[in-house]
Amino acid sequence: MPASFAELTGLTVSVDRVAFMPHLDAPPDKPFPFAYFLSIHNRSAETVTIRGRKWVVTDVAGETIVVEADGVVGKTPRLEPGESFSYNSYHVISVDSAAEGAFIGITEAGQPVVVKIPRFEMHAPESE
C-alpha cells in the first residue's frame, strides 16, 4: 500500500522570477521559452530530501501537459531546517500558458511529503 503524502508546515516554494528568454532552445511548435527561478524553503523542524517533481502546464486553448520526473535539475536536494534550495529551468510554450505543480520529498523519519509550486503565468510575445 503506498504511503500517503502530507504537507509539511514550513516547507514552501516561492516563484522568484519568470522571464521570456528567446535565446534558449525551443522547438518550432513551441517557440517561446520562459525561464523560471524557484526556491524551496524549509522552515520546518524536519530535514527533507526532495526526490521528484510534477509540473502541469495548461495553455489558453485548454491543452495540458503533465511532466513528472525524479529529482530537481538532476539533484536531490537535502534541506535541513532553515535551509533553502534555489534553481532555474524553463518551459516552452506556443500560446499564453500557466504552470503549477509540486515537489515530492521525504523526511529523515521516512514520512513522504509534498509541497505545492505556486501557479505562474507565461505570456507569449505578440506577433508584429
Tell me the domains of the chain and their CATH numbers.
Answer: 11-117 (2.60.40.1470)
Locate 63 and state its grid cell: 491543452
Residues of the chain with pLDDT > 90: what percent? 91
The predicted structure's pLDDT at residue 128: 42
pLDDT at 7 over 60: yes
The predicted structure's pLDDT at residue 6: 85
Best CA proximity match to 114, nearest among 12, 26, 15, 41: 12
Best CA proximity match to 72, nearest among 94, 95, 48: 48
The predicted structure's pLDDT at residue 24: 96
Q: Distance between CA 25 and CA 14 in Å, rounded?
A: 25
Residues of the chain with pLDDT > 70: what percent? 96
Predicted TM-score (pTM) of the model is 0.91
pLDDT digits (tens, 9 = 90+) for 70-118: 999 999 999 999 999 999 999 999 999 999 999 999 999 999 999 999 9
